Structure 1
Amino acid sequence: MRAAIFAIDTGAYKAKAESAAATALKRLLEQAGFEVKAAGILPQEKEVVESVIKQLADAESVELILTAGATGYQDEDCAAEAVTDAAERLLPGIPEALRAYNLRYSKKAILESMAAGIRNKTLVINLPESAKTAKEDMEYILPEVVQVVENISL
């Protein structure tokens, strides 16, 4: 199973900084048996994020793409829209489950605009920006993610 992980953060992108969320997610996926083929930071620009998703999925480079960040309600928060426009099939149950899971900690979870979907045998999931929350969310859904990845790549 191959994966790509991208933090979506214009400030970190311009500063060429590292993302704690991407690092935590990479470690978690590798422990679960994924080979992380790409990891990095993208600017908060819908067209850029959507283009990267489409390129990786259409080239069949990876079976899983995770994004961390840009899931709020500000104008520049574009992750959900990028996935929605890139996906051929949406999986609304994933973000619904994550919001419900995160509501245990904070009512602010209702403000998250995450999305998940499939494009060309690639599962794409938005996660929150916080390294702690992104890691915990991924741990929560990991068995189902592995199941989807195994089934769509047949």
Structure 2
Amino acid sequence: MNANFKIISVSDSSHAGTRVDESGPKLVELVDKSLKVNATVNVGSPTVVPDDVKEIRKALLEKCKNSDVIITTGGTGFSKRDVTPEATLEVIERRCNGMEIAMHTGSLKVTPMAALSRAIVGIRGGTLIINMPGSVKAVKECWEILEPVLNHALDLLKDTDDGSQHQRMK
């Protein structure tokens, strides 16, 4: 299977060039080196956008045209500028609450600060959209939580599931 992953880093300061985006490149590295995603993965460089609903929505819609998975980093907290979940909710057609719960539950085992994340996971057409917090540490934790289920999720989205993933999980 071939899977196109796109990374969008949401950060006013990285977009303005006053801070280096670290979480986007870390996520690219994690996806590229994944031993659990059974696919030829095409990632490319992260796209950096400001904390702006219109800009995030525009980037998500553009990436949905040729992506199987879009992962955003940043903009999921409580700040007034943290609007990634709002932009994501405007774009997705179906919400993936189980993946959201898995990320939150797994992250809460590491830090109580995970309770402050408003990350959303959802589907638009055949594209899975995942919001992750903006810190490198949180990106790594969330990736490790979701990585084991991505093959099955992609199979289901591409309608190529033969039931073998389900059988292995029993």
Q: What is the one-letter code of the residue matched to 2:106?
A: Y
Q: Which residue is equivalent to 1:10?
A: 12
CA distance in 1, matches of 2:32, 2:72: 16
Pair 1:38–1:89, CA change in 2 (3 A): farther
Q: What is the one-letter code of the residue matched to 1:44?
A: D
Q: What is the one-letter code of the residue matched to 1:39?
A: P
Note if 1:53 corresponds to 2:55. no
Q: What displacement does 1:18 show?
A: 3.7
Gap runs ≥5 in structure 2: 35-39, 160-170
Q: Which residue is equivalent to 2:41?
A: 34
For the aligned residue pairs, the C-alpha RMSD in angstroms reads 1.5
Q: What displacement does 1:37 show?
A: 3.9
Consecutive aligned runs of 4 or more in structure 1 exceeding 2 Å deviation: none
Q: What displacement does 1:91 show?
A: 0.6
How do 1:1-154 and structure 2 match up within 5 A?
1-15=3-17, 17-32=19-34, 33-57=40-64, 59=65, 61-154=66-159
* Deviation string, structure 1 residues 10-54 (Cα, Å, up to 9, x no partner): 111011754211111101111234210451211000111111111
Gap runs ≥5 in structure 1: none
* Deviation string, structure 1 residues 99-138 (Cα, Å, up to 9, x no partner): 1111112222111110000001000000011112101211
* TM-score, normalised relative to structure 1: 0.91
Pair 1:95–1:143, CA change in 2 (3 A): same
Q: What is the one-letter code of the residue matched to 2:70?
A: I
SS in 2 for 1:34: strand
CA distance in 1, matches of 2:30, 2:41: 9
Q: How many residues align?
A: 152
SS in 2 for 1:74: coil
Check conservation: 2:25, 2:45, Cα contact below 8 A: no
| Rg larger in structure | 2
Q: What is the one-letter code of the residue matched to 1:11?
A: S
CA distance in 1, matches of 2:20, 2:5: 18
CA distance in 1, matches of 2:120, 2:14: 22
* Deviation string, structure 1 residues 74-96 (Cα, Å, up to 9, x no partner): 11101111111100111112122
Between the two proteins, what is the percent identity of the paired residues? 22
Pair 1:50–1:103, CA change in 2 (3 A): same
Pair 1:56–1:80, CA change in 2 (3 A): same
